[in-house]
Structure 1
Protein backbone atom coordinates (compact mmCIF):
# COMPACT_ATOMS: atom_id res chain seq x y z
CA UNK A 1 0.00 0.00 0.00
CA UNK A 2 1.43 3.40 -1.04
CA UNK A 3 1.56 6.41 1.28
CA UNK A 4 -1.25 8.09 -0.70
CA UNK A 5 -3.44 5.00 -0.31
CA UNK A 6 -2.94 5.11 3.45
CA UNK A 7 -4.34 8.65 3.65
CA UNK A 8 -7.89 9.25 4.78
CA UNK A 9 -10.62 9.95 2.26
CA UNK A 10 -10.81 13.64 3.20
CA UNK A 11 -7.01 14.01 3.16
CA UNK A 12 -6.95 12.74 -0.43
CA UNK A 13 -9.63 15.21 -1.51
CA UNK A 14 -8.03 18.19 0.21
CA UNK A 15 -4.62 17.39 -1.26
CA UNK A 16 -6.07 17.28 -4.78
CA UNK A 17 -8.20 20.47 -4.56
CA UNK A 18 -5.59 22.99 -5.83
CA UNK A 19 -5.03 21.04 -9.06
CA UNK A 20 -8.65 20.26 -9.91
CA UNK A 21 -10.58 21.85 -12.77
CA UNK A 22 -13.33 24.31 -11.67
CA UNK A 23 -16.25 21.85 -11.76
CA UNK A 24 -14.18 19.16 -10.07
CA UNK A 25 -13.01 21.67 -7.44
CA UNK A 26 -16.62 22.68 -6.75
CA UNK A 27 -17.47 19.01 -6.26
CA UNK A 28 -14.38 18.53 -4.07
CA UNK A 29 -15.32 21.46 -1.85
CA UNK A 30 -18.85 20.10 -1.56
CA UNK A 31 -17.52 16.67 -0.59
CA UNK A 32 -15.18 18.23 2.01
CA UNK A 33 -18.16 19.94 3.63
CA UNK A 34 -20.49 16.93 3.36
CA UNK A 35 -18.42 13.73 2.90
CA UNK A 36 -21.31 11.67 4.22
CA UNK A 37 -23.20 12.44 1.02
CA UNK A 38 -20.70 10.48 -1.06
CA UNK A 39 -20.91 7.62 1.43
CA UNK A 40 -24.69 7.54 1.13
CA UNK A 41 -25.58 8.35 -2.47
CA UNK A 42 -24.99 7.07 -5.98
CA UNK A 43 -22.79 8.98 -8.42
CA UNK A 44 -25.88 10.40 -10.17
CA UNK A 45 -27.42 11.55 -6.88
CA UNK A 46 -24.15 13.17 -5.77
CA UNK A 47 -23.85 14.94 -9.12
CA UNK A 48 -27.32 16.42 -8.68
CA UNK A 49 -26.59 17.55 -5.12
CA UNK A 50 -23.33 19.25 -6.13
CA UNK A 51 -24.79 20.63 -9.39
CA UNK A 52 -22.21 18.93 -11.61
CA UNK A 53 -22.36 16.24 -14.28
CA UNK A 54 -22.00 12.53 -13.60
CA UNK A 55 -18.90 12.58 -15.82
CA UNK A 56 -17.38 15.18 -13.48
CA UNK A 57 -17.97 12.83 -10.55
CA UNK A 58 -16.19 10.01 -12.41
CA UNK A 59 -13.22 12.23 -13.28
CA UNK A 60 -13.08 13.57 -9.73
CA UNK A 61 -12.79 10.20 -8.00
CA UNK A 62 -10.00 9.16 -10.38
CA UNK A 63 -8.16 12.44 -9.75
CA UNK A 64 -8.18 11.83 -6.00
CA UNK A 65 -6.77 8.34 -6.41
CA UNK A 66 -9.68 5.88 -6.66
CA UNK A 67 -10.25 3.36 -9.41
CA UNK A 68 -13.96 4.15 -9.55
CA UNK A 69 -16.84 5.73 -7.64
CA UNK A 70 -17.66 2.58 -5.68
CA UNK A 71 -14.09 2.39 -4.35
CA UNK A 72 -14.32 6.01 -3.18
CA UNK A 73 -17.74 5.44 -1.63
CA UNK A 74 -16.53 2.33 0.20
CA UNK A 75 -13.61 4.29 1.71
CA UNK A 76 -16.00 7.08 2.76
CA UNK A 77 -18.37 4.55 4.35
CA UNK A 78 -15.55 3.02 6.38
CA UNK A 79 -14.52 6.43 7.66
CA UNK A 80 -18.13 7.31 8.48
CA UNK A 81 -18.22 4.30 10.81
CA UNK A 82 -14.94 5.03 12.55
CA UNK A 83 -13.82 8.61 12.10
CA UNK A 84 -14.61 12.22 11.33
CA UNK A 85 -17.73 13.93 12.65
CA UNK A 86 -17.98 15.68 9.27
CA UNK A 87 -19.44 12.45 7.89
CA UNK A 88 -22.50 12.95 10.09
CA UNK A 89 -23.45 16.28 8.53
CA UNK A 90 -25.97 16.42 5.73
CA UNK A 91 -26.63 18.85 2.89
CA UNK A 92 -29.82 20.87 3.06
CA UNK A 93 -30.78 20.93 6.75
CA UNK A 94 -34.49 21.13 7.57
CA UNK A 95 -36.21 23.65 9.82
CA UNK A 96 -35.40 23.87 13.52
CA UNK A 97 -38.64 22.05 14.36
CA UNK A 98 -37.86 19.25 11.93
CA UNK A 99 -34.28 19.04 13.19
CA UNK A 100 -35.48 18.73 16.77
CA UNK A 101 -37.99 16.06 15.83
CA UNK A 102 -35.47 14.12 13.76
CA UNK A 103 -32.89 14.35 16.55
CA UNK A 104 -35.36 12.98 19.10
CA UNK A 105 -36.39 10.21 16.72
CA UNK A 106 -32.76 9.28 16.05
CA UNK A 107 -31.95 9.12 19.75
CA UNK A 108 -34.98 6.92 20.40
CA UNK A 109 -33.87 4.63 17.60
CA UNK A 110 -30.33 4.55 19.02
CA UNK A 111 -31.69 3.49 22.42
CA UNK A 112 -33.87 0.77 20.92
CA UNK A 113 -31.08 -0.60 18.73
CA UNK A 114 -28.62 -0.53 21.62
CA UNK A 115 -30.67 -2.26 24.27
CA UNK A 116 -31.99 -4.95 21.93
CA UNK A 117 -28.41 -6.29 21.84
CA UNK A 118 -27.85 -6.21 25.62
CA UNK A 119 -29.63 -8.80 27.75
CA UNK A 120 -30.73 -8.51 31.36
CA UNK A 121 -28.56 -11.53 32.14
CA UNK A 122 -25.48 -9.74 30.83
CA UNK A 123 -26.17 -6.57 32.80
CA UNK A 124 -26.76 -8.55 35.99
CA UNK A 125 -23.60 -10.54 35.36
CA UNK A 126 -21.57 -7.34 35.01
CA UNK A 127 -23.17 -5.79 38.10
CA UNK A 128 -22.58 -8.89 40.22
CA UNK A 129 -18.97 -9.08 39.08
CA UNK A 130 -18.41 -5.43 39.97
CA UNK A 131 -19.79 -5.98 43.45
CA UNK A 132 -17.58 -9.00 44.09
CA UNK A 133 -14.40 -7.63 42.49
CA UNK A 134 -11.32 -6.84 44.52
CA UNK A 135 -10.94 -3.62 42.52
CA UNK A 136 -12.61 -2.06 39.49
CA UNK A 137 -10.58 -0.16 36.88
CA UNK A 138 -12.36 2.16 34.44
CA UNK A 139 -10.40 3.36 31.41
CA UNK A 140 -11.53 6.15 29.12
CA UNK A 141 -9.57 8.31 26.69
CA UNK A 142 -10.54 11.30 24.55
CA UNK A 143 -14.34 11.32 24.13
CA UNK A 144 -14.57 8.29 26.41
CA UNK A 145 -12.92 10.05 29.36
CA UNK A 146 -16.02 11.83 30.75
CA UNK A 147 -18.03 8.59 30.59
CA UNK A 148 -15.36 6.74 32.55
CA UNK A 149 -15.41 9.50 35.16
CA UNK A 150 -19.22 9.46 35.30
CA UNK A 151 -19.38 5.69 35.74
CA UNK A 152 -16.79 5.77 38.52
CA UNK A 153 -18.60 8.66 40.21
CA UNK A 154 -21.90 6.77 40.26
CA UNK A 155 -20.57 3.33 41.13
CA UNK A 156 -18.56 4.63 44.09
CA UNK A 157 -21.90 4.86 45.87
CA UNK A 158 -21.78 1.09 46.36
CA UNK A 159 -18.28 0.04 45.23
CA UNK A 160 -15.48 1.15 47.50
CA UNK A 161 -12.43 0.28 45.43
CA UNK A 162 -12.94 1.81 41.99
CA UNK A 163 -10.71 4.16 39.98
CA UNK A 164 -11.17 6.07 36.70
CA UNK A 165 -8.12 6.38 34.46
CA UNK A 166 -6.04 7.99 33.07
CA UNK A 167 -5.08 10.63 35.62
CA UNK A 168 -2.63 13.47 35.12
CA UNK A 169 1.05 12.62 35.31
CA UNK A 170 0.55 8.85 35.56
CA UNK A 171 1.40 6.14 33.04
CA UNK A 172 -0.79 3.20 32.07
CA UNK A 173 1.85 0.72 33.17
CA UNK A 174 1.74 2.05 36.72
CA UNK A 175 -1.85 0.85 36.96
CA UNK A 176 -1.99 -2.15 34.63
CA UNK A 177 0.78 -3.83 36.64
CA UNK A 178 -1.65 -3.98 39.58
CA UNK A 179 -4.59 -5.63 37.78
CA UNK A 180 -5.38 -9.00 39.39
CA UNK A 181 -7.52 -12.01 38.37
CA UNK A 182 -10.19 -11.04 40.90
CA UNK A 183 -10.60 -7.55 39.39
CA UNK A 184 -13.01 -6.01 36.88
CA UNK A 185 -11.80 -3.77 34.08
CA UNK A 186 -14.16 -1.47 32.18
CA UNK A 187 -12.79 0.00 28.96
CA UNK A 188 -14.64 2.70 27.02
CA UNK A 189 -13.79 2.65 23.32
CA UNK A 190 -15.76 5.44 21.68
CA UNK A 191 -14.55 7.19 18.52
CA UNK A 192 -11.76 8.03 18.17
CA UNK A 193 -10.03 5.12 19.83
CA UNK A 194 -6.38 5.29 20.86
CA UNK A 195 -4.12 2.49 19.53
CA UNK A 196 -3.33 1.25 23.07
CA UNK A 197 -6.92 0.15 23.75
CA UNK A 198 -6.41 -3.35 22.38
CA UNK A 199 -3.27 -3.72 24.49
CA UNK A 200 -5.14 -2.65 27.63
CA UNK A 201 -7.84 -5.22 26.94
CA UNK A 202 -5.38 -7.98 26.04
CA UNK A 203 -3.29 -7.39 29.17
CA UNK A 204 -6.37 -7.33 31.41
CA UNK A 205 -7.68 -10.54 29.86
CA UNK A 206 -4.29 -12.20 30.31
CA UNK A 207 -4.33 -11.38 34.04
CA UNK A 208 -7.63 -13.24 34.37
CA UNK A 209 -9.65 -10.12 35.17
CA UNK A 210 -13.17 -9.76 33.78
CA UNK A 211 -13.39 -7.11 31.07
CA UNK A 212 -16.35 -5.01 29.94
CA UNK A 213 -15.71 -3.26 26.63
CA UNK A 214 -18.18 -0.44 25.99
CA UNK A 215 -18.03 1.08 22.49
CA UNK A 216 -19.98 2.65 19.67
CA UNK A 217 -21.39 0.57 16.81
CA UNK A 218 -18.33 1.22 14.66
CA UNK A 219 -16.13 -1.17 16.63
CA UNK A 220 -16.10 -4.83 15.65
CA UNK A 221 -17.18 -7.29 18.32
CA UNK A 222 -14.31 -8.08 20.67
CA UNK A 223 -14.32 -11.80 21.42
CA UNK A 224 -11.59 -11.62 24.06
CA UNK A 225 -13.55 -9.29 26.37
CA UNK A 226 -15.90 -10.91 28.87
CA UNK A 227 -18.69 -8.58 27.73
CA UNK A 228 -18.88 -6.14 24.84
CA UNK A 229 -21.73 -3.61 24.84
CA UNK A 230 -22.04 -1.66 21.59
CA UNK A 231 -24.00 1.59 21.71
CA UNK A 232 -25.60 3.22 18.69
CA UNK A 233 -24.31 6.78 18.21
CA UNK A 234 -25.89 7.80 14.88
CA UNK A 235 -26.90 11.47 14.72
CA UNK A 236 -28.68 13.92 12.45
CA UNK A 237 -25.88 16.50 12.68
CA UNK A 238 -22.08 16.79 12.86
CA UNK A 239 -21.71 15.37 16.38
CA UNK A 240 -22.03 11.76 17.49
CA UNK A 241 -24.97 11.12 19.80
CA UNK A 242 -23.96 9.59 23.13
CA UNK A 243 -27.46 9.27 24.57
CA UNK A 244 -27.36 5.48 24.43
CA UNK A 245 -23.90 5.40 26.05
CA UNK A 246 -25.18 7.41 29.00
CA UNK A 247 -28.30 5.24 29.20
CA UNK A 248 -26.22 2.06 29.39
CA UNK A 249 -24.01 3.60 32.09
CA UNK A 250 -27.06 4.73 34.04
CA UNK A 251 -28.80 1.38 33.92
CA UNK A 252 -25.63 -0.49 34.84
CA UNK A 253 -25.17 1.75 37.88
CA UNK A 254 -28.82 1.41 38.93
CA UNK A 255 -28.72 -2.37 38.60
CA UNK A 256 -25.47 -2.57 40.56
CA UNK A 257 -27.02 -0.56 43.39
CA UNK A 258 -30.11 -2.81 43.34
CA UNK A 259 -28.06 -6.00 43.51
CA UNK A 260 -25.93 -4.57 46.33
CA UNK A 261 -29.03 -4.93 48.54
CA UNK A 262 -28.47 -4.38 52.27
CA UNK A 263 -24.74 -3.78 52.01
CA UNK A 264 -25.28 -1.21 49.32
CA UNK A 265 -27.99 0.61 51.24
CA UNK A 266 -25.79 0.66 54.34
CA UNK A 267 -22.96 2.32 52.39
CA UNK A 268 -25.36 4.82 50.84
CA UNK A 269 -26.76 5.72 54.27
CA UNK A 270 -23.26 6.22 55.64
CA UNK A 271 -22.36 8.45 52.69
CA UNK A 272 -25.47 10.56 53.17
CA UNK A 273 -24.83 10.84 56.92
CA UNK A 274 -21.30 12.10 56.32
CA UNK A 275 -22.50 14.49 53.61
CA UNK A 276 -24.94 16.00 56.11
CA UNK A 277 -22.21 16.47 58.71
CA UNK A 278 -19.94 18.06 56.14
CA UNK A 279 -22.70 20.31 54.82
CA UNK A 280 -22.37 18.86 51.30
CA UNK A 281 -26.03 18.16 50.61
Structure 2
Protein backbone atom coordinates (compact mmCIF):
# COMPACT_ATOMS: atom_id res chain seq x y z
CA UNK A 1 0.00 0.00 0.00
CA UNK A 2 1.14 3.54 -0.70
CA UNK A 3 1.40 6.00 2.16
CA UNK A 4 -1.77 7.70 1.02
CA UNK A 5 -3.60 4.38 0.94
CA UNK A 6 -2.34 3.60 4.44
CA UNK A 7 -3.57 6.96 5.73
CA UNK A 8 -6.98 6.44 4.13
CA UNK A 9 -7.21 2.92 5.55
CA UNK A 10 -6.46 4.11 9.09
CA UNK A 11 -8.44 7.37 8.92
CA UNK A 12 -11.55 6.11 10.64
CA UNK A 13 -9.62 4.67 13.61
CA UNK A 14 -7.29 7.61 14.27
CA UNK A 15 -7.62 9.70 17.45
CA UNK A 16 -8.96 13.20 16.90
CA UNK A 17 -5.62 15.05 16.88
CA UNK A 18 -3.95 12.51 14.60
CA UNK A 19 -6.94 12.60 12.27
CA UNK A 20 -6.27 16.33 11.84
CA UNK A 21 -2.72 15.48 10.77
CA UNK A 22 -4.07 12.89 8.33
CA UNK A 23 -6.48 15.38 6.77
CA UNK A 24 -3.76 18.02 6.48
CA UNK A 25 -1.43 15.48 4.87
CA UNK A 26 -4.05 14.33 2.35
CA UNK A 27 -5.28 17.85 1.61
CA UNK A 28 -1.78 19.21 1.02
CA UNK A 29 -0.21 16.08 -0.46
CA UNK A 30 2.68 15.75 -1.02
CA UNK A 31 4.06 19.08 0.16
CA UNK A 32 2.74 18.72 3.71
CA UNK A 33 4.60 15.46 4.26
CA UNK A 34 7.80 16.83 2.73
CA UNK A 35 7.82 19.87 5.01
CA UNK A 36 9.24 19.95 8.54
CA UNK A 37 7.44 18.42 11.49
CA UNK A 38 6.69 21.89 12.81
CA UNK A 39 5.16 23.00 9.49
CA UNK A 40 2.95 19.91 9.24
CA UNK A 41 1.85 20.36 12.84
CA UNK A 42 0.97 23.99 12.15
CA UNK A 43 -1.00 23.06 9.01
CA UNK A 44 -2.95 20.50 11.03
CA UNK A 45 -3.42 22.73 14.06
CA UNK A 46 -1.73 20.17 16.31
CA UNK A 47 1.70 19.60 17.90
CA UNK A 48 4.97 18.03 16.77
CA UNK A 49 4.54 15.03 19.12
CA UNK A 50 1.14 14.38 17.52
CA UNK A 51 2.75 14.32 14.08
CA UNK A 52 5.36 11.85 15.33
CA UNK A 53 2.65 9.59 16.80
CA UNK A 54 0.83 9.73 13.46
CA UNK A 55 3.99 8.74 11.56
CA UNK A 56 4.70 5.93 14.02
CA UNK A 57 1.16 4.62 13.60
CA UNK A 58 1.89 4.31 9.87
CA UNK A 59 4.79 2.01 10.67
CA UNK A 60 7.74 4.39 10.35
CA UNK A 61 10.42 4.62 13.02
CA UNK A 62 11.24 8.26 12.32
CA UNK A 63 10.04 11.29 10.40
CA UNK A 64 13.01 11.16 7.96
CA UNK A 65 12.14 7.54 7.13
CA UNK A 66 8.56 8.61 6.46
CA UNK A 67 9.77 11.40 4.16
CA UNK A 68 12.08 9.08 2.21
CA UNK A 69 9.18 6.71 1.53
CA UNK A 70 6.99 9.66 0.55
CA UNK A 71 9.58 10.96 -1.94
CA UNK A 72 9.73 7.51 -3.54
CA UNK A 73 5.94 7.50 -3.83
CA UNK A 74 5.86 10.94 -5.44
CA UNK A 75 8.54 9.91 -7.91
CA UNK A 76 6.49 6.86 -8.90
CA UNK A 77 3.40 9.03 -9.36
CA UNK A 78 5.27 11.47 -11.61
CA UNK A 79 6.26 8.53 -13.78
CA UNK A 80 2.59 7.63 -14.37
CA UNK A 81 2.30 6.74 -18.06
CA UNK A 82 -0.18 8.10 -20.56
CA UNK A 83 -2.82 5.79 -22.14
CA UNK A 84 -0.64 5.63 -25.28
CA UNK A 85 2.39 4.60 -23.25
CA UNK A 86 0.37 2.04 -21.29
CA UNK A 87 -1.03 0.63 -24.53
CA UNK A 88 2.44 0.23 -26.03
CA UNK A 89 3.74 -1.40 -22.85
CA UNK A 90 0.80 -3.80 -22.61
CA UNK A 91 1.08 -4.80 -26.24
CA UNK A 92 4.80 -5.47 -25.97
CA UNK A 93 4.28 -7.75 -22.97
CA UNK A 94 1.03 -9.44 -23.96
CA UNK A 95 0.20 -9.03 -27.64
CA UNK A 96 -3.01 -11.06 -27.48
CA UNK A 97 -6.21 -9.37 -26.36
CA UNK A 98 -7.18 -10.50 -22.83
CA UNK A 99 -10.27 -12.69 -22.72
CA UNK A 100 -13.50 -11.97 -20.90
CA UNK A 101 -12.46 -13.99 -17.86
CA UNK A 102 -9.18 -12.08 -17.53
CA UNK A 103 -10.90 -8.71 -17.87
CA UNK A 104 -13.57 -9.56 -15.32
CA UNK A 105 -10.96 -10.90 -12.89
CA UNK A 106 -9.14 -7.57 -13.10
CA UNK A 107 -12.36 -5.68 -12.43
CA UNK A 108 -13.13 -7.88 -9.42
CA UNK A 109 -9.64 -7.26 -8.03
CA UNK A 110 -10.07 -3.50 -8.44
CA UNK A 111 -13.43 -3.56 -6.67
CA UNK A 112 -11.92 -5.47 -3.77
CA UNK A 113 -8.95 -3.10 -3.56
CA UNK A 114 -11.25 -0.07 -3.70
CA UNK A 115 -13.34 -1.46 -0.87
CA UNK A 116 -10.19 -1.72 1.25
CA UNK A 117 -8.95 1.74 0.24
CA UNK A 118 -12.06 3.67 1.33
CA UNK A 119 -12.68 3.92 5.08
CA UNK A 120 -16.32 3.42 6.04
CA UNK A 121 -16.11 6.68 7.98
CA UNK A 122 -15.24 8.64 4.83
CA UNK A 123 -18.02 6.93 2.88
CA UNK A 124 -20.48 7.83 5.65
CA UNK A 125 -19.21 11.43 5.67
CA UNK A 126 -19.80 11.72 1.91
CA UNK A 127 -23.33 10.33 2.27
CA UNK A 128 -24.09 12.74 5.09
CA UNK A 129 -23.01 15.71 2.97
CA UNK A 130 -25.02 14.54 -0.04
CA UNK A 131 -28.09 13.98 2.16
CA UNK A 132 -28.08 17.45 3.72
CA UNK A 133 -31.52 18.89 2.77
CA UNK A 134 -30.37 22.44 3.49
CA UNK A 135 -27.66 22.35 0.82
CA UNK A 136 -27.76 22.16 -2.95
CA UNK A 137 -25.76 19.29 -4.44
CA UNK A 138 -23.72 19.80 -7.63
CA UNK A 139 -22.00 17.18 -9.82
CA UNK A 140 -19.16 17.31 -12.34
CA UNK A 141 -16.60 14.92 -13.78
CA UNK A 142 -13.72 14.89 -16.21
CA UNK A 143 -13.45 13.78 -19.81
CA UNK A 144 -14.11 10.10 -19.08
CA UNK A 145 -15.92 10.42 -15.75
CA UNK A 146 -18.54 13.11 -16.35
CA UNK A 147 -21.02 10.48 -17.47
CA UNK A 148 -20.86 8.99 -13.95
CA UNK A 149 -21.45 12.44 -12.47
CA UNK A 150 -24.50 12.75 -14.71
CA UNK A 151 -25.66 9.28 -13.71
CA UNK A 152 -25.52 10.23 -10.04
CA UNK A 153 -27.29 13.54 -10.61
CA UNK A 154 -30.09 11.84 -12.57
CA UNK A 155 -30.78 9.46 -9.68
CA UNK A 156 -30.42 11.91 -6.82
CA UNK A 157 -32.60 14.48 -8.57
CA UNK A 158 -35.47 12.08 -7.91
CA UNK A 159 -34.42 11.47 -4.31
CA UNK A 160 -33.85 15.02 -3.09
CA UNK A 161 -34.35 18.63 -4.22
CA UNK A 162 -31.70 21.08 -5.42
CA UNK A 163 -29.55 18.62 -7.36
CA UNK A 164 -27.63 20.31 -10.16
CA UNK A 165 -25.00 19.37 -12.69
CA UNK A 166 -22.32 21.61 -14.14
CA UNK A 167 -22.81 21.66 -17.89
CA UNK A 168 -21.31 23.29 -20.96
CA UNK A 169 -17.85 24.66 -21.56
CA UNK A 170 -15.41 25.52 -18.80
CA UNK A 171 -16.07 29.21 -19.37
CA UNK A 172 -19.72 28.76 -18.34
CA UNK A 173 -18.95 27.06 -15.02
CA UNK A 174 -18.44 30.42 -13.35
CA UNK A 175 -21.95 31.45 -14.38
CA UNK A 176 -23.31 28.35 -12.69
CA UNK A 177 -21.58 29.33 -9.44
CA UNK A 178 -23.65 32.48 -9.07
CA UNK A 179 -26.38 30.81 -7.01
CA UNK A 180 -24.05 28.64 -4.93
CA UNK A 181 -24.24 29.24 -1.20
CA UNK A 182 -21.67 28.51 1.52
CA UNK A 183 -22.13 24.94 2.64
CA UNK A 184 -23.43 23.64 -0.69
CA UNK A 185 -21.99 20.28 -1.69
CA UNK A 186 -20.08 19.55 -4.90
CA UNK A 187 -19.25 15.99 -5.98
CA UNK A 188 -16.27 15.98 -8.34
CA UNK A 189 -14.68 13.12 -10.29
CA UNK A 190 -11.04 13.48 -11.33
CA UNK A 191 -8.68 10.61 -12.15
CA UNK A 192 -5.27 10.62 -13.77
CA UNK A 193 -4.34 12.50 -15.95
CA UNK A 194 -5.85 15.22 -13.83
CA UNK A 195 -7.65 18.18 -15.41
CA UNK A 196 -6.30 21.62 -14.60
CA UNK A 197 -9.71 23.23 -15.14
CA UNK A 198 -11.24 20.98 -12.47
CA UNK A 199 -8.40 21.77 -10.08
CA UNK A 200 -8.95 25.49 -10.59
CA UNK A 201 -12.69 25.04 -10.07
CA UNK A 202 -11.94 23.29 -6.79
CA UNK A 203 -9.96 26.30 -5.61
CA UNK A 204 -12.85 28.61 -6.49
CA UNK A 205 -15.32 26.31 -4.72
CA UNK A 206 -13.17 26.39 -1.60
CA UNK A 207 -13.12 30.19 -1.72
CA UNK A 208 -16.92 30.12 -1.91
CA UNK A 209 -16.96 27.78 1.10
CA UNK A 210 -18.53 24.87 -0.73
CA UNK A 211 -17.97 21.38 0.62
CA UNK A 212 -16.29 19.08 -1.90
CA UNK A 213 -16.61 15.31 -2.15
CA UNK A 214 -13.79 14.11 -4.41
CA UNK A 215 -13.91 10.74 -6.13
CA UNK A 216 -10.45 10.04 -7.52
CA UNK A 217 -7.75 7.36 -7.87
CA UNK A 218 -5.11 6.10 -5.39
CA UNK A 219 -2.64 8.75 -6.54
CA UNK A 220 -5.12 11.49 -5.58
CA UNK A 221 -6.03 14.37 -7.82
CA UNK A 222 -4.62 17.76 -6.75
CA UNK A 223 -8.28 18.52 -5.98
CA UNK A 224 -7.69 16.65 -2.71
CA UNK A 225 -6.20 19.90 -1.39
CA UNK A 226 -9.65 21.47 -1.60
CA UNK A 227 -11.83 18.48 -0.68
CA UNK A 228 -13.66 17.79 2.56
CA UNK A 229 -13.98 14.08 1.75
CA UNK A 230 -11.71 12.07 -0.55
CA UNK A 231 -12.79 8.67 -1.89
CA UNK A 232 -10.00 6.91 -3.84
CA UNK A 233 -10.90 4.14 -6.31
CA UNK A 234 -8.42 1.63 -7.76
CA UNK A 235 -8.62 2.10 -11.53
CA UNK A 236 -5.37 0.54 -12.80
CA UNK A 237 -6.40 -2.24 -15.19
CA UNK A 238 -3.07 -3.29 -16.69
CA UNK A 239 -4.23 -2.24 -20.13
CA UNK A 240 -4.44 0.84 -22.35
CA UNK A 241 -7.28 2.48 -20.42
CA UNK A 242 -8.01 2.76 -16.72
CA UNK A 243 -11.20 1.12 -15.50
CA UNK A 244 -14.30 3.14 -14.62
CA UNK A 245 -16.11 0.18 -13.03
CA UNK A 246 -14.97 0.92 -9.43
CA UNK A 247 -16.01 4.57 -9.89
CA UNK A 248 -19.47 3.53 -11.04
CA UNK A 249 -19.77 0.94 -8.26
CA UNK A 250 -18.93 3.60 -5.67
CA UNK A 251 -21.42 5.99 -7.29
CA UNK A 252 -24.18 3.38 -7.00
CA UNK A 253 -23.28 2.69 -3.36
CA UNK A 254 -23.54 6.40 -2.60
CA UNK A 255 -26.87 6.65 -4.42
CA UNK A 256 -28.25 3.71 -2.47
CA UNK A 257 -27.12 5.02 0.92
CA UNK A 258 -28.47 8.52 0.29
CA UNK A 259 -31.77 7.03 -0.94
CA UNK A 260 -32.12 5.07 2.30
CA UNK A 261 -31.24 8.07 4.44
CA UNK A 262 -33.78 10.20 2.60
CA UNK A 263 -36.44 7.53 2.16
CA UNK A 264 -39.41 9.34 3.72
CA UNK A 265 -38.83 12.31 1.43
CA UNK A 266 -37.69 10.17 -1.49
CA UNK A 267 -40.83 8.06 -1.67
CA UNK A 268 -43.01 11.18 -1.81
CA UNK A 269 -40.93 12.52 -4.68
CA UNK A 270 -41.03 9.16 -6.43
CA UNK A 271 -44.82 9.05 -6.12
CA UNK A 272 -45.09 12.60 -7.48
CA UNK A 273 -42.90 11.57 -10.41
CA UNK A 274 -45.14 8.57 -11.10
CA UNK A 275 -48.19 10.85 -11.03
CA UNK A 276 -46.56 13.16 -13.55
CA UNK A 277 -45.57 10.21 -15.73
CA UNK A 278 -49.12 8.88 -15.83
CA UNK A 279 -50.53 12.40 -16.03
CA UNK A 280 -52.48 12.07 -12.83
CA UNK A 281 -54.04 15.17 -11.29
CA UNK A 282 -53.37 15.51 -7.55
CA UNK A 283 -56.55 15.05 -5.54
CA UNK A 284 -57.96 18.21 -4.00
CA UNK A 285 -58.82 18.28 -0.29
Q: TM-score, normalised by structure 1?
A: 0.64
Alignment of 1:120-139 (within 5 A): 120-132=120-132, 133-139=134-140
The 3 A distance-change label for structure 1 pair 108 and 217 is same
Q: CA deviation at 1:154?
A: 1.4
Cα distance between partner residues in 2 of 1:246 and 1:201: 22
The 3 A distance-change label for structure 1 pair 126 and 77 is closer
- The superposition leaves residues 69-90 of structure 1 with CA deviations (integer Å, 9 ceiling, x where unpaired) of xxxxx99965663632441533
Q: CA RMSD in A?
A: 2.8
Cα distance between partner residues in 2 of 1:137 and 1:249: 14
Unaligned runs of 5+ in 2: 1-72, 281-285
Total equivalences in the alignment = 204
Cα distance between partner residues in 1 of 2:75 and 2:122: 34
Q: TM-score, normalised by structure 2?
A: 0.63
Cα distance between partner residues in 2 of 1:101 and 1:170: 43
* Conserved 8 A contact 1:143-1:192: no
* Conserved 8 A contact 2:125-2:229: no
Q: CA deviation at 1:159?
A: 2.0
Counterpart among 230, 233, 248 of residue 231 in structure 1: 233
Cα distance between partner residues in 2 of 1:207 and 1:159: 23
Q: CA deviation at 1:261?
A: 2.2
Q: Is residue 256 of structure 2 the alignment partner of residue 257 of structure 1? A: no
* Conserved 8 A contact 2:236-2:243: yes
Unaligned runs of 5+ in 1: 1-73
Residue 182 (structure 1) aligns with: 183
The 3 A distance-change label for structure 1 pair 183 and 243 is same
The 3 A distance-change label for structure 1 pair 253 and 99 is same
* Conserved 8 A contact 2:259-2:266: yes
The 3 A distance-change label for structure 1 pair 112 and 142 is same
The 3 A distance-change label for structure 1 pair 86 and 242 is same
Q: CA deviation at 1:117?
A: 2.0
Q: CA deviation at 1:213?
A: 0.9
The 3 A distance-change label for structure 1 pair 170 and 94 is closer
